[in-house]
Amino acid sequence: MKKCLLLLILALPMLSEAKTAADTSGRDDEPSLFITKQQHPLSLQLQVGTQGLGADLRYGLASRLSIRVGASFIPVKEDNIITLPGFQSTNSASINFYNAHLLADVVPFKKMRGFRLVGGAAYLYKAEGGVSVIPTGTYAYGNTIVTGQDIGNLNLDVSWKGIAPYAGIGLFKSFPNQVFNFNLDLGVYYLNQPQTHIIGTGLLTDNNTLEPQFNQNLKGYRWLPVLQLNFNFKL
């Protein structure tokens, strides 16, 4: 009896250590109540490229999956880009693309963290281009002298407004290891079929009858390529 009691006393410290180890192991298997930046990184991404300037907020859902939500814009306007022999005019061309987008980045290969597949969509709340022509000078048609004001003005407008799916690839890591990194996006948006509108004044009023042909000529212009450089700052 004494021997059994002595063995029990000697075994108590060992049993205590075994229980502590088991408790610790159990806690490690339980899901953490707190989400750390290492588990779900967050970064601010500034971008410049063919879709203009923009910014994204990127969030890591898993080690090889992240999402980003953001917006970009590209307003461009150029004056007097059209030159026609024997015709004087003041003209301008403009392109305005403003979008809000939601994209997902997936790393398909564990050993290639710098290669990503990217998919998602954007809502183009302003996606339009146009050409405006205002004739100047005077022109002789037989015995008739016609001024630019008599000829009138001509506006040709195109719109791709709406939802545009996106697919592409990404190069270099999504998130910086320290504070900052950069990566690239190469992809394409598939736009809505363009809608055109022709407005003429003066002698050019009847040009609106050309809208069906104008639509036909532009129906294939539905791809917006994206080549974009991203600057990521860890939050």
Hey, what's the torsion of the CAs at 186, 187, 189, 190, to 10 degrees? 160
- Six-digit token pair at 41? 């990184």
List Cβ neighbours of 131 (8 Å cut-off, separation of 6 or more): 82, 91, 92, 93, 155, 156
**All domains of the chain in start order, with CATH:** 31-234 (2.40.160.170)
Helix H or strand E encompassing 30: none
What is the chain's pLDDT, residue by residue, as a tens digit (235 residues)?
A: 444 444 433 444 443 444 334 444 444 443 443 445 557 899 999 999 999 999 999 999 998 999 999 999 999 999 988 887 877 889 999 999 999 999 999 999 988 989 999 999 999 999 999 999 998 888 887 788 888 888 889 999 999 999 999 999 999 999 998 899 999 999 999 999 999 999 999 888 888 888 889 888 888 899 999 999 999 999 9
- Cα separation, 48 vs 78, whole angstroms: 20
CA-angle at 211, arms to 205 and 213, nearest 5°: 130
Alpha carbons 48 and 128: distance in angstroms, whole number = 20
d(CA 122, CA 188): 11
Question: CB burial class (10 A; 0-12, 13-18, 19+) of residue 110?
Answer: exposed
The token duo for 115 is 């290669």
Tell me the CA end-to-end span of the chain in Å, nearest whole number. Answer: 66
